[in-house]
Amino acid sequence: MTVLIWLIPVTLLLGLLGLLAFFWCLDNGQFDDMDGAAERILKDDD
- Give 1-46 pLDDT, tens digit per residue: 899 999 999 999 999 999 999 999 999 988 888 787 778 778 877 6
Distance between CA atoms of 9 and 3, rounded to whole angstroms? Answer: 11
Report pLDDT for 46: 61
CA 39 to mean position of chain CA atoms:
23
Residue type, 3: V
Q: For the chain, what is the largest distance between any 2 Cα atoms, rounded to a whole number of angstroms? A: 65
pTM beyond 0.75: no
- Asked if residues 25 and 31 have their Cβ atoms less than 8 Å apart, the reply is yes
Distance between CA atoms of 39 and 43, rounded to whole angstroms? Answer: 7
